[in-house]
Amino acid sequence: MYRIETKRVLNPSVVEMEINAPLVARKARPGQFIILRVDEEGERIPLTVAGTDKEKGAVKIIFQIVGATTEKLGRLNAGDSIRDFVGPLGVPTHTDGIKKVCIVGGGVGCAIAMPVAQEFHRLGAEVTSVIGFRNKELVILEDEFRACSDRLIVMTDDGSYARHGNVTVPLKEMLEAGERFDMIITIGPLIMMKFVTLTAKPFGVPVTVSMNPIMIDGTGMCGGCRLSLVRDGKRVTKFACVDGPDFNGYEVDFDEAISRGRMYFDFERRAHEEVCNLFKGVN
């Protein structure tokens, strides 16, 4: 069992927790993830390592409540325990030779992007962060990003806070103004990452995207997390859990990934409703 050390509610649907898992805390690097199971009957879900405290042996996770499992997890409190917690999985984000980076995060993707931004800041790179949310209520981690960014641009889709518009707007402005980055790293909904890649393309700036397909084992055993890259005109299959989650944005077949992401849509919606109904009876 893995104890929940702390819990913080970041916005109505985003929760941060520190989980006691010393072996994972010792090893995890930015860009890697863990897989957890809340209880014996639970599903395995992947979440990014949002930070570690090696002394306490704790791993920080930040998750958005979107479905049955995250709903159950979000209802636990400090002092409770979760059944399984394995990691760190995946390849850490490449940082070598990157002196000037632009981090583009969307929604809960910002939670995944934050440790990456912090790592670049720690390594002394110049960090520009563009973080976008649907509305003011959903803004998370603004202070954390400010602390590790040389420049921070906050966007909301509806203009209810900070700048109005989506993240590609300021990105395009910067690129058009002649600004160049060694790398743009984007993490968020697939559709957003697709458009960030398209925005950067005319300027020839490299783009790294963080793919988050449905996963089970996280060790390369099931192939459920597979995605297609188009490399030199040829399609190659990769497993996001072991080959990623970071990939070259110009190679990823986003349309296929978006389609695969819809595989269990109906099932998940029903499962979430069931968990919510269950808790309605309790509360």
Ligand X SMILES: Cc1cc2nc3c(=O)[nH]c(=O)nc-3n(C[C@H](O)[C@H](O)[C@H](O)COP(=O)(O)OP(=O)(O)OC[C@H]3O[C@@H](n4cnc5c(N)ncnc54)[C@H](O)[C@@H]3O)c2cc1C
What residue ranges bind ligand X (CB under 6 A)? 33, 43, 45-48, 62-64, 66-70, 108, 111-112, 212-215, 245, 261, 265, 268, 271-272
Assess contact for 22 and 108: CB atoms under 8 A.
no
Question: Between 66 and 221, whose beta carbon lies closer to ligand FES?
Answer: 221
Question: Between 68 and 154, whose beta carbon lies closer to another protein?
Answer: 68
Cα–Cα distance between 164 and 262 in angstroms, integer?
29
Q: Residue 104: which of 162, 149, 38 has the closest Cα?
A: 149
**Among another protein, ligand FES, ligand X, none, what does residue 234 contact (CB within 5–8 Å per kind)?**
none
**Among ligand FES, ligand X, another protein, none, what does residue 248 contact (CB within 5–8 Å per kind)?**
none
DSSP character at residue 201: G
Cα–Cα distance between 175 and 6 in angstroms, integer?
40
User: Looking at the DSSP assignment, which residues form a beta bridge with residue 5?
Assistant: none
Cα–Cα distance between 192 and 231 in angstroms, integer?
22
Q: Residue 240: which of 255, 253, 251, 224 has the closest Cα?
A: 224
**Among another protein, ligand X, ligand FES, none, what does residue 86 contact (CB within 5–8 Å per kind)?**
another protein
- Report the nearest approach of ligand FES to the CB of residue 231 (Å): 19
CA distances from 250 to 130, 155, 183 (A): 20, 24, 12
- Report the nearest approach of ligand X to the CB of residue 247 (Å): 12
Residue 239 engages ligand FES in binding (rule: CB under 6 A): yes
Question: Taken in order 232, 106, 44, 255, is the CA torsion positive or negative?
Answer: negative
**Among ligand X, ligand FES, another protein, none, what does residue 256 contact (CB within 5–8 Å per kind)?**
another protein
Instruction: State the residues that interact with another protein by CB under 8 A.
Output: 23-24, 27, 37, 41-44, 68-69, 83-89, 216-217, 219-224, 226-228, 237, 242, 256, 259-260, 262-265, 267-268, 271
Q: Is 167 helix (H, G, I), strand (E, B) or coil?
A: coil
- Report the nearest approach of ligand X to the CB of residue 65 (Å): 7
Cα–Cα distance between 210 and 186 in angstroms, integer?
7
- Report the nearest approach of another protein to the CB of residue 148 (Å): 26
- Report the nearest approach of ligand FES to the CB of residue 241 (Å): 3
E strand or H helix at 62: strand 58-64
- Report the nearest approach of another protein to the CB of residue 32 (Å): 8
Residues that bind ligand FES (CB under 6 A): 215-218, 220-225, 239, 241
